[in-house]
Amino acid sequence: MDAKGRALSETVWTRLDRKAGAITELTIRQLRHRLSTWVVLAVGALVMILLLAFYIDEIRRESEPVDNDGDSVDWDEDGYPLGQENKYGTSDWDGQEYPGSGYYVMTGEIDWNDDSRFHSGNHTWDGQGYLDAEWVDLDYTGNRWSGIIDWGQANPCPEGDAFDDWWIEWGEACTYDDGSYFVSGKFRASGTVNIPEGYYMQWGHMTLETYVEPEPASMYIDEDSILWDGEDVSEIYVESNCQPGWYYGSVYICNGFEVDDDGDCLVEMYDDNNNGIPCDVIWVLDADRDEIVDIRADYNVNEDIEEGKYQGESSHRTFIIGTGKMAFVLMLGIFIPLFLALGLVRDETENGTLHYLLSKPIHRAEFITYRLLGYLLLAGTYILVLVLLMALVTSLIGPGDSLIRLSDFPVWLGIGMATFLVLAAYGALYNTLGLIAPKYGVYFCIILGIWEFIMGMFTMTMPSASVPMLSISHWALQFIDAIVLIAWPDTLQYSQIASAFGIDSGLPFFWQPPVHTLGTQSPVAAMLVSVTVLLLITFAMMGIGQSSFKNREIM
């Protein structure tokens, strides 16, 4: 016991703890008593709930099969979907042409400059001229694309000469008083045609029809899936197909993996990747064969993938990463400190309540630290609650066979951590600005917030650009990129697959591999670099604020 009867176990440190506890608690209670705190926190929560609603709607749609290439549609309404017509080489624009339909064989013609301009017979005709018919097949009809004359629409021909005084459209005919016609298009008839000079008519017959069972449209939804399940990169490596090569470093180039399931590439035998194998995919693996460096696909290969398997997972990750970057780091990260941290010390000075605190044996620098600590405890708890809510909902609803996607939790916690580090850095920065420029600090902070937002967007599109390194948001976004790669190592593949097969996905926009790996390519290194930079910024800003406050005279 000392002279004042205090226990000797009471050290300087325990007393420091108590002071820290008191200021921290006071700060939290003060923030809790301010309306603006609740408004900004409620707006943040509302945004997250809206995003979740959007997510639930989106995921429901994404797991439903979608016909990405449109070949399940029967455009000419002949009962056969485009995919089946492609397979049989028939047109999906001509209702008369379908799998098993007869096809036209030409047997003769009157050319533009032939001498003889007359021909008689029972044919299927195609061209323009005068027709003196013994019989016309009025049942031979087609749609507007087929060019088959619609006899039901045939009107009396106008006065004057055809082609000089009047004109009719392709697929039309008109009648003369003597029972002859002027025809323009395709028709079946027995009789004599007279072709004016400069015009053309051909004749022939249709082959016999065979019945081909129409395939259901559903066959052409999700018909061209990716063979690789996206889990083990080594599955792609087959010794006979892969050669060591050079492509931004030593790599393995694997040809021929993946096939054109629906055959829409094979019809035209596309070979966009110039490896002599039509309709294949080149997978470029790194020297360790554990990472895909590039994917080069021929056109129309794997373009209509299974939504439930790839697209669902891709959308799920895109949502988490996008929400983490845009809503948590760039929105909450910038706005919460603006409302909660700017006035941490400044408001005490302005309200005249600082005297109570500073007349106690507490150093001004300590005071700033504990104020920031209080703000961070409040804001950090809020972020943690939001992150856990988001994690719970998305991991329960998200794609996959398991009840809950545990692999999502590290990513969400990483997003929470990144947001927390941003709150600390901006909090220290805004508090310092509030101290240095009490009157105009808020404008500086708004300008800074805009700068940070722009740099954040830059970081997402060009992560290796150097200017965004001058922002706080850059390092937080890099931190998320690193965490994503640690928790979901195959995200890189998902991103590349989206780019390679032209699949609609936001993943390549919202996520790119972390840049600052100190040459190790390791996401852990990138994460550590980001954390270090963010902490350095925080402490530097705190230090500036402390030294400014320490030497300030308080009126």
Give the interface with another protein as residue ranges (CB under 8 A). Answer: 10, 14-16, 18-19, 21-23, 25-26, 29-30, 33, 351-353, 355-363, 553-555
Longest dimension (CA), the chain: 136
- What torsion do the CA atoms of 157, 159, 162, 168 make, to the nearest 10 degrees? -40
Q: What's the closest the beta carbon of residue 368 comes to another protein, in angstroms?
A: 14
Q: What's the closest the beta carbon of residue 6 comes to another protein, in angstroms?
A: 9
- What torsion do the CA atoms of 454, 458, 463, 467 make, to the nearest 10 degrees? -70
Distance (Å, whole) CA 172 – CA 198? 19
Considering beta carbons, is residue 24 or 419 the nearer one to another protein?
24
Q: What's the closest the beta carbon of residue 434 comes to another protein, in angstroms?
A: 18
Considering beta carbons, is residue 73 or 362 the nearer one to another protein?
362
Q: What's the closest the beta carbon of residue 44 comes to another protein, in angstroms?
A: 23
Distance (Å, whole) CA 179 – CA 191? 12
Considering beta carbons, is residue 359 or 466 the nearer one to another protein?
359
Chain-centre distance for alpha carbon 553: 55
Considering beta carbons, is residue 205 or 552 the nearer one to another protein?
552
Q: What's the closest the beta carbon of residue 19 comes to another protein, in angstroms?
A: 5
- Contact call for residues 143 and 149 (beta carbons, < 8 A): no
Distance (Å, whole) CA 22 – CA 18? 6
Distance (Å, whole) CA 146 – CA 95? 7
Q: Which residues of 82-111 are buried (b: 16+ CB within 10 A; e: fewer)?
A: bbbbbbeebbbebbbbbbebeeeeeeebbe
Q: What's the closest the beta carbon of residue 2 comes to another protein, in angstroms?
A: 13
Q: What's the closest the beta carbon of residue 456 comes to another protein, in angstroms?
A: 37
Sheet of 242-246: strand order equals 242-246, 250-257, 281-286, 292-297
Taking the CB of residue 515, how many other CB atoms lie within 10 A of it? 19
Q: What's the closest the beta carbon of residue 36 comes to another protein, in angstroms?
A: 15
Taking the CB of residue 217, how many other CB atoms lie within 10 A of it? 17
Angle (deg, nearest 10), helices 35-63 and 312-322: 170
HEC secondary structure over 265-320: CCCCCCCCCCCCCCCCEEEEEECCCCCEEEEEECCCCCCCCCHHHHHHHHHHHHHH
Q: What's the closest the beta carbon of residue 364 comes to another protein, in angstroms?
A: 8
Distance (Å, whole) CA 390 – CA 51? 9
Give the CA count within 13 Å in the CB-facing half-sphere of 344: 36
Considering beta carbons, is residue 26 or 212 the nearer one to another protein?
26
Q: What's the closest the beta carbon of residue 338 comes to another protein, in angstroms?
A: 23
Q: What's the closest the beta carbon of residue 351 comes to another protein, in angstroms?
A: 5
Per-residue tokens: 380: 């950090």
Considering beta carbons, is residue 317 or 364 the nearer one to another protein?
364
Considering beta carbons, is residue 403 or 555 the nearer one to another protein?
555
Q: What's the closest the beta carbon of residue 371 comes to another protein, in angstroms?
A: 13
Considering beta carbons, is residue 19 or 309 the nearer one to another protein?
19
Considering beta carbons, is residue 359 or 520 the nearer one to another protein?
359
For residue 203, the one-letter residue type is W
Is the Cα torsion angle 144, 148, 149, 151 positive or negative in sign?
negative
Considering beta carbons, is residue 15 or 144 the nearer one to another protein?
15
Q: What's the closest the beta carbon of residue 544 comes to another protein, in angstroms?
A: 20
Q: Which of 387, 376, 380 is nearest to 341 (CA)?
A: 376
Considering beta carbons, is residue 159 or 553 the nearer one to another protein?
553
Considering beta carbons, is residue 6 or 144 the nearer one to another protein?
6
Considering beta carbons, is residue 28 or 157 the nearer one to another protein?
28
Considering beta carbons, is residue 21 or 108 the nearer one to another protein?
21
Three-state DSSP class for 512? coil
Length of the chain in terms of residues written: 555
Distance (Å, whole) CA 217 – CA 84? 9
Q: Which of 536, 534, 549, 552 is nearest to 369 (CA)?
A: 549
Q: What's the closest the beta carbon of residue 437 comes to another protein, in angstroms?
A: 20
Q: Which residues of 449-484 are buried (b: 16+ CB within 10 A; e: fewer)?
A: beebbebbbbbbeebeeeebbebbbbbbbbbbbbbb
